[in-house]
Structure 1
């Protein structure tokens, strides 16, 4: 129950590691967690200045039962347009073309986008819902470079078998020209400690390390930020995670359009072992007319990353992956991934899955299921987390993977 409380006026395989490590770089800095309460007065003032820039004046605000504050912000005054490349940007209110081939078969155990909408609460006309940024969000973001970029980036994730500075992953990748991808991602609440993270996501990218462009979407669990469980997240970069890009809307870039779904929303209910299974249906595709990269949640057009943000991905991408990932400081046992059970233990209801995996391989704007042999599996530590791929005869499943594992691995 929300409460109305305020009214105001060609990618090389070695780059798998780069992409997945950067996901954690944006969201988590485990080493920083113990120091959250030790900020200096100057640091606190600096965070407050940043929050003032990010959190635009709200026409109306709501507090959710999870403690989030959702601001209804004038769609033309959202933080995205503080980006210098978007000063004269014209908002794309809807996709130019609706892609063909998307499967959204409903069942009793399938998430409906309606579950995540703001219920009886709606933003005034001309405004969009945006989760209000907090100090914790910014503390995470300011440590982007302290995790991930000090680890090897020239290792093939599928064969390394070593600890990549606490980061681990298992999934499949498609390496060829694409202008979009989609999938149903099974949602769980993996067991993690405060200084750990576990996610499942779809990531699209192009370019060498220093010029890599990337957009991604999925769910993540991190108790330090969100003690109540799995959340929807996005991330983007336009320069290999050097100076551009961020988690959700913490920096100018992503343009929110939906009045119903916001980034960072709580995903529940979640799947249970040998019980009910739930998933989120997500897609990212480049608009044929504008070149913007559009994000869809089930059938709801959420928003987009403008073409102006990108260089190598201005005209398509050449890499897409669907994977589970975890992070833990290397002195601690690793957290669970997905359901916490290996794919070999069983299928549906036992191990986490990503199904109805589809790609948009050309500009005919049609999603298709990739062939079995073009999907490359990768699992850097299969003794901790593993992946199995297949293509089902059932069109509701199509190309799919089961992934994950119990973790609890140590490397020191």
Structure 2
């Protein structure tokens, strides 16, 4: 782990630092000094507008407007008076320490979607989970098998509590290609994962794998796969405020789009200026995700051992607006161009959680409601 940390910080210069709302330290380093760019020839790729993004409407019917989340801004200051904002030409990188890594049994456990899962974990809509997955993972989600170049949705953010013998709770997108040992993904969402982030609040995260989570994959900027280009978002950083049961809902506009040989991540809108960065398709080594995904998936996942945490706001899908977790206006980008509404199938693999797909008029369109209280009998 010491060797890894030396490599992680090799040839980096922190030009500014701040502490986010969850207590995590971020160092702002020049874009070319991030792990994915060191020693790499060629220029950083250039983002484009998402197909049809200007036609999407602001939040509204059938429910009261939710509020968009803004993570970093020059007007925000941390508890020490530092601006929570990265200078031009830099990106915020979450500070890693030996103490933090030591919460994991090995470096590989730190890189995995959850520690100790080996190769057993699979996305929920993929071919049936192994017994190991059934023993630890629970999902409530909605999926569609369709060739695609990514997709988009608005995701409301919650603050589910994580208790003893519970590992994480999340809401995310999965874009999936391949199968078996060749299964590949690009993933993004929010997650409460105390073992990873040393706090119990929602954090922005990304993840990927090129070999069914066996020997490839990592969170955020941990392994030099993702190239971040936007200074306004801190991967692994706090998302706040979050939704309140019976009250204000806060949501994040999220998209992945494969264009020009890169899986681009967008947050807060579909203009090129909203692009956060990209996974080069080359990380998939000529596999399925190098050219397209074959499945889209949206919803929640929790992991526990003898007890499972709440998902979303802890309410079942039927509780609906201001109580259940949701992802709305779910659309995907067909391989032939443009964008289209998803046609999802709801699924849940445990009685502690449910999911429900509803087709609304614009601007909610295809929506999945999901969630549940968790517990010891899941």
Within a 5 Å distance, the mapping from 1:207-356 to structure 2 comes to 207-224=178-195, 225-287=197-259, 290-299=260-269, 300-310=274-284, 311=286, 312-329=288-305, 332-344=306-318, 346-356=319-329
* Structure 2 residue aligned with 1:116: 72
CA RMSD between the two structures: 2.8
Q: Provide the rounded CA distance (Å) in 1 between the counterparts of 2:282 and 2:160.
A: 36
The Cα offsets for residues 43-88 of structure 1, whole Å up to 9 and x where unpaired, read as: xxxx232112113522413121533222222212211135xxx832
Unpaired runs of at least 5, structure 1: 1-46
Residue 228 (structure 1) shift: 4.5
* Structure 2 residue aligned with 1:384: 352
Higher strand share: 2
* Structure 1 residue aligned with 2:333: 360
1:406 and 2:369 equivalent? no
Q: Provide the rounded CA distance (Å) in 1 between the counterparts of 2:68 and 2:144.
A: 28
Q: Provide the rounded CA distance (Å) in 1 between the counterparts of 2:202 and 2:124.
A: 30
1:172 and 2:142 equivalent? yes
Q: CA 1:134–1:270 in 2, change beyond 3 Å: closer, same or farther?
A: same
TM-score (normalised: structure 2):
0.84
Within a 5 Å distance, the mapping from 1:179-194 to structure 2 comes to 179-193=149-163
Say which of 159, 177, 188 aligns to 1:206: 177
Residue 295 (structure 1) shift: 0.1
Q: Provide the rounded CA distance (Å) in 2 between the counterparts of 1:302 and 1:71.
A: 17
Q: Provide the rounded CA distance (Å) in 2 between the counterparts of 1:182 and 1:154.
A: 18
Q: CA 1:59–1:93 in 2, change beyond 3 Å: closer, same or farther?
A: farther
Residue 205 (structure 1) shift: 1.3
Aligned length, in residue pairs: 350
Q: CA 1:343–1:157 in 2, change beyond 3 Å: closer, same or farther?
A: farther
Say which of 2, 13, 19 aligns to 1:58: 13
SS in 2 for 1:295: strand
Contact 1:104 1:298 in 2 (8 A): no
Residue 226 (structure 1) shift: 3.8
The Cα offsets for residues 272-306 of structure 1, whole Å up to 9 and x where unpaired, read as: 1111111111000011xx22000000122110001
* Structure 2 residue aligned with 1:126: 89
Q: Provide the rounded CA distance (Å) in 2 between the counterparts of 1:137 and 1:169.
A: 27
Say which of 28, 39, 43 aligns to 1:90: 43
Q: Provide the rounded CA distance (Å) in 2 between the counterparts of 1:294 and 1:356.
A: 19
Residue 193 (structure 1) shift: 1.5
SS in 2 for 1:72: strand
Q: Provide the rounded CA distance (Å) in 2 between the counterparts of 1:94 and 1:229.
A: 31
Contact 1:387 1:402 in 2 (8 A): yes
SS in 1 for 2:50: coil
Residue 370 (structure 1) shift: 2.0
Unpaired runs of at least 5, structure 2: 77-82
Q: CA 1:347–1:153 in 2, change beyond 3 Å: closer, same or farther?
A: closer
Q: CA 1:209–1:275 in 2, change beyond 3 Å: closer, same or farther?
A: same
Residue 203 (structure 1) shift: 0.6
